[in-house]
Structure 1
């Protein structure tokens, strides 16, 4: 094997080189994106602050409300002969 060439694909050496590989750009590009994403989860983010449990209860309540309306619609529009 010549110096500077990649090891054969599927070999243990190829797997080891993938584990050792580092990006040269560092974290500058990904750090900015991560900082933007973290802003959504901090106290400094603007907007309505509600807990995940409240969101879960509201969404289940909405689903139940739509299901009840569906059943009421089926019962109300039954044709009477």
Structure 2
């Protein structure tokens, strides 16, 4: 910044920093930006879509992993049975 109060040259790093300081945030909170406000919409009760608890997601994930492991074992046993 210039000492006499004049604006820095337009393309300089000081001008960019001054513009970033003056920029208003989109959110209502002081520290939250526009992106944080949009991300919070996914976690509200008003969000559209299927609402399932984290426990259900965990159980379904473990069940899927177990199902794939069983398919691998069945596939190996099937190959052993056809070669004999």
Q: TM-score, normalised by structure 1?
A: 0.64
Question: How many angstroms apart in 1 are the aligned matches of 2:24 and 2:62?
Answer: 43
| Number of residue equivalences | 61
Report the counterpart of residue 43 of structure 1 in structure 2. Answer: 45
SS in 2 for 1:54: helix
1:25 to 23, 26, 35: 23
1:31-67 deviation digits (Å, cap 9, x = unpaired): 3211110000000100000001100000000000000
Gaps in structure 2 of 5+ consecutive residues = 4-20
The answer for unaligned runs of 5 or more in structure 1 is: 5-22
CA shift for structure 1 position 26: 5.0
User: Scaled by the length of structure 2, what TM-score is found?
Assistant: 0.61
Structure 1 runs, 4 residues or longer, greater than 4 Å off = none
CA–CA distance in 1 between the matches of 2:25 and 2:78?
61
**Root-mean-square deviation (CA), in Å?**
2.3
